[in-house]
Chains A and B, each alone.
Chain A
Amino acid sequence: MTATTTEHVTPAASAPTQLTMAGALNAALRDAMADDDRVVVYGEDVGPLGGVFRVTDGLQSQFGEDRIWDSPLAESGIIGTAVGMAMYGMRPVVEMQFDAFSYPAFEQMVSHVAKMRNRTKGRMTLPMVVRIPCAGAIGGVEHHSDSSEAYWTATPGLTVVMPSNPADAYSMLREAIDSDDPVVFMEPKSRYWSKAPLTLPVTTAPMDRAVVVREGTEVSLLAYGPTVRTALEAADAAESEGLSIEVVDLRSLSPFDDETVGASVRKTSRAAVIHEAAQFGGYGAEVAARVTERNFHHLAAPVLRIAGFDIPYPSPKLEEHHLPTPDRVLAALDTWEWDR
C-alpha cells in the first residue's frame, strides 16, 4: 500500500469554478482514489459509462480497471463483496444505481454492514461507503424516485448523510471515505445538476453536524438533501411577508445533531421538518419527536412534518403534487396559531 495519507493537498489558490454536485462528487472520488490506493469504486455502469448520473465519469480511464470497474448487476452482491473487501482492508466505495434498486442489498446492509463492528467488539471495522442516488423530482418512472433514508436511519450501526450542495458533496464524501465505519451516502438526484462556485479541495463543516444555512428568528425549517432548496425558497418568500425563517440543513441524518437543531429551535420556538419521503413512520417523525422531547418548554407550537403523502411515489406527471413545495411549506406554517 503506497499512499495511505488522508490529508487533502491544497493546490495553489485558484479562482472558483462553477461545479455541479455531480462534478463535485466526481472530484471527491478522484481525489480520494489518488490519495489512497485502498479506495476502489465499483457498481453498475460506473466504468466506461461513468455512472448513469456521470458521477464516476472519466475515473476508469484515469485509474484503470483494478481501481474502478463494472460489477455484475446484483446489489446484494455489490454490498456483500464490499464487506469482504473492507474486511481485507480496502476502502470500497460502491454505488447503488437508484434508491429502489438498493433493496436487494437490504439484508447485507442491515445484518452485516451495520453490525460487523459491534459483533466483533470493534476488532473488525468496515470502512466502506455506499453511495445511493436518492429522492425524486427528476421525472423518473416507477422505482427511480424513492426516498429510502428511514430504512437506513432506523438501523443502528449505520451512519447516514445527505449533502444538499456541491461543496458539502465534495467535503462530506471525502470524510465518508476516510471514515473507518460504513457510511450510507445519499445523493439527492434532483440536485446533481445544481451549480456552485467552488475551489477544490474544499472542507465544509464536519459530516456529523447540521448547519444553519439561513438565519432567521421566528421559525426553524429543518431540511436535508433536496428539501433544503425548498426551505430556502419558502424562507425567501416569507421574508417579503415579514416572517423570519431560519433554515437548518441537517446534512447528517444519523447521527442527528441535537445540539445545532436544538439551539435553532430554542431561538425561534417553532420548527417544521421537511422531506420528500412519506410522512408516516418517516424520518421526520423522529426529528419531530426528539426536538419536542428536548425543547418542549421552548416551543410555542407543535413541531410540524411537511412531507410527501403516505402513498407510493407517483408517476412523473403527478409527482409535482406529491413533493413539498415552498407554498405547501408556508401553508403548513399558517396552520399554527400565531399571536403576531
Chain B
Amino acid sequence: MSLNVEHRSVRALPSEKPIRLLDNAGHAVHGSATGGFDLPDAETLLELYRRMVVARRFDVQVTALTKQGRLATYPSAYGQEACEIGAISAIEARDWFFPTYRDSIALLTRGIEPGDILQSFRGDWHNGYDQHAHRCASQATPLATQALHAVGLAHAARLRQDPIVTMTYLGDGATSEGDAHEAFNFAAVWQTPTVFLVQNNQFAISVPLSRQTRAATLADKAVGYGMPGFHVDGNDVAAVYSVTRAAVERARSGGGPTLIEGLTYRIEAHTNSDDPTRYRHARDVEHWKRRDPIERLEKYLVSEGALSEDVRTEIADAAESVAAHTREVMTTEAELDPLELFDHVYGRPRAALLEQRARLEAELADAATDAGAAR
C-alpha cells in the first residue's frame, strides 16, 4: 500500500436543507430531501429508540444528581440523542470512538458503566474507563484535540491493514479550532477511515453559531478538504444513523473520511454552572423542544405498529433501572487514595516523585494521628 493516494477532490456541496428521513410529525420523508438515503428497517429503528430513551433517562438522572451536588459538573446532551445515539450505533465494537465531554450518553450506549463514565465528572479521577477495553478514548475537554487522535489511530490501523474505523464527535464551536482544521486535512490527505460528526447544537456555551462561522453549513467545510460532507437533520435519528452508517462503510472499504453535520439544539444549559437565560430566549428552547428526537421516532414507530405498549413499558423500565443503578453508584462515595497521585505519571518511577509521595504519606499519617487524638 502506498501513502501516495491518487489525487482527487470531492467538490459536491452538501445540501443546505438537512437530510431528513423522518419529519417532525414522525412521517417518512420521500424524494430529494432524503439525499438518497434509505430509512433503516423497523428493528433497527426500535433499537435506536430504546437506546435514546435509556440515554435520556440517564442524562436527566445525572443532571439531577449534579444539582444535588453529587457531581462537580455535567454537560448534558438532552435533545441531542439522535446525533449521540444514531452515530455511535453506526460503528462496531472493533471500531474506535473519540468523544468530547458532552458525549456521556454515547459512552453509555457503547456499554460503559455509568460509574466509570462519570468518574471524571464526579471528580474522582480524570478518566474512569478502560480505553482499550471499550475502544473509546477519554472524553476530551480541549476542543477538537481528540479529532487528531482519531485520525492518527485510523492511519495506524490502515498501515496495519486493520479494517477498523474511527469516529469522533465535535461541537459547532470546536470547528473554529485549529485542530479541527488540521484533523480534517490530515484525514483527507492520508485518506484515513475516519468519520467526523459535528453536532451543531447552535451554542458554544453562550456564543451562537453565527459568531463562529460565515459558512452556510458546517458540512460545507468538507469541500475545502476534498472529502464528502453531509448536512443532516440532527434530531432525526434515522437520518443520522443512515448517513453515518454509509460513511462508516465507505471508510472501511478504503474510501476515506467523511464530515457530517447534525443540526440539533442544546436544550439544557452548557453545564450546571451556566445561565442560558442571559443569552437565549425561552421561546427558542420551546421551539426546539417541539422537535424532540425521541418523540419523532416514537410517533413513527407507533404509526407503523412497531412499538407496542408492552415494549414501550419494557423500555421505560430498562431506562428506570439504568437511572436507579446510576443513582446508586453515584451516591456511594468512592475510596480515593491520595498517594495514587504519584503512581501513573511515568512508567519508570522518578526519585523526585517518590520523595514527594513520601512527604504526602507522612502528612496523611500526621493528619490521621491528629484526628485520632481529637477523637
Contacts and interface: CB of A to CB of B under 8 A. Distances in A.
Nearest to A258: B351
Report, nearest first, the 10 A-B pairs whose CB atoms are least far apart.
Answer: A84-B152, A80-B148, A81-B152, A77-B182, A84-B153, A88-B156, A84-B149, A85-B156, A119-B126, A85-B152
A120 B152 contact: no
A87 B154 CA distance: 10
A118 interface: yes
Contacts of B178: 76, 104
B187 to A, nearest CB: 9
Given A83-B148, A118-B126, A125 B347 contact: yes
Interface string A71-100: 110101101111111111110100000000
A89 B4 contact: no
A107 interface: yes
A192 interface: no
A84 B155 contact: yes
Interface string A36-70: 00001000000000000000000000000110010
Interface of B: 1-4, 125-127, 130-132, 137-138, 142, 145, 147-157, 159-160, 166, 178-179, 182-183, 185-186, 189, 340, 343-348, 350-352
B179 A65 contact: no
B151 A123 contact: no
B152 A83 contact: yes
Contacts of A259: 351
A90 B179 CA distance: 21
A112 B149 contact: yes
B344 A84 contact: no
Nearest to A79: B148
Contact of B344 (A80, A89, A121): A121
A104 to B, nearest CB: 7
Contact of B145 (A112, A121, A180): A112
Given A66-B159, A121-B125, 17 more contacts: A40-B159, A77-B151, A77-B182, A77-B186, A80-B149, A84-B155, A84-B156, A87-B131, A108-B179, A117-B345, A119-B127, A122-B344, A180-B347, A255-B350, A255-B351, A256-B352, A258-B352
Given A65-B4, A80-B149, A80-B179, A120 B138 contact: yes
A284 interface: no
Most B-side CB within 10 Å, residue of A81, A87, A122: A81
Nearest to B194: A84
A121 B151 CA distance: 24
Contacts of A111: 142, 145
Given A77-B186, A120-B138, A83 B344 contact: no
B148 A65 contact: no
Nearest to B349: A255
Contacts of B142: 107, 111-112
Contact of A65 (B2, B147, B153): B2
B130 A76 contact: no
Contacts of B345: 117-118, 156-157
A121 B182 CA distance: 29
Contacts of A92: 152
Nearest to A108: B145
Contact of B152 (A74, A87, A118, A125): A87
A258 B138 CA distance: 35
A45 B12 CA distance: 32
Interface string A144-181: 00000000000011010000000000000000000111
Contact of A74 (B2, B157, B186, B343): B186
Given A69-B3, A81-B186, A255-B350, A87 B343 contact: no
Interface in A115-154: 115, 117-125
Contacts of A88: 152-153, 156-157, 160
Given A65-B4, A66-B3, A255-B351, A80 B145 contact: yes
Nearest to A107: B142
B273 to A, nearest CB: 21
A83 B154 CA distance: 11
A40 B152 CA distance: 12
A80 B152 contact: yes
Given A84-B154, A118-B126, A123 B132 contact: yes
A76 B152 contact: no
Contacts of A159: 346
A259 B348 CA distance: 17
24 contacts: A72-B185, A72-B186, A77-B186, A80-B182, A84-B151, A84-B166, A88-B153, A90-B156, A90-B159, A112-B149, A118-B345, A119-B138, A120-B127, A121-B127, A121-B344, A124-B138, A125-B347, A157-B346, A181-B346, A208-B348, A255-B351, A255-B352, A258-B352, A259-B351
B346 A81 contact: no
A84 B148 contact: yes
A72 B226 CA distance: 14
A121 to B, nearest CB: 5
Contacts of B166: 84
Contacts of A82: 152
Given A74-B186, A84-B148, A117 B347 contact: yes
Nearest to A47: B3
A120 B126 CA distance: 7
A61 to B, nearest CB: 14
Nearest to A116: B138
B149 A87 contact: yes
A172 to B, nearest CB: 15
Contacts of B132: 123-124
B146 to A, nearest CB: 8
A108 B186 contact: no
A74 B137 contact: no
A83 B149 contact: yes
Contact of B1 (A66, A124, A208): A66
A64 B348 CA distance: 33
B156 A76 contact: no
Contacts of B156: 40, 84-85, 88-90
Contact of B150 (A84, A107, A118): A84
Most A-side CB within 10 Å, residue of B3, B166, B185: B3
Contacts of A208: 348
A144 B2 CA distance: 33
Interface in A212-266: 255-256, 258-259
Given A81-B152, A111-B142, A74 B182 contact: yes
Contacts of A180: 347
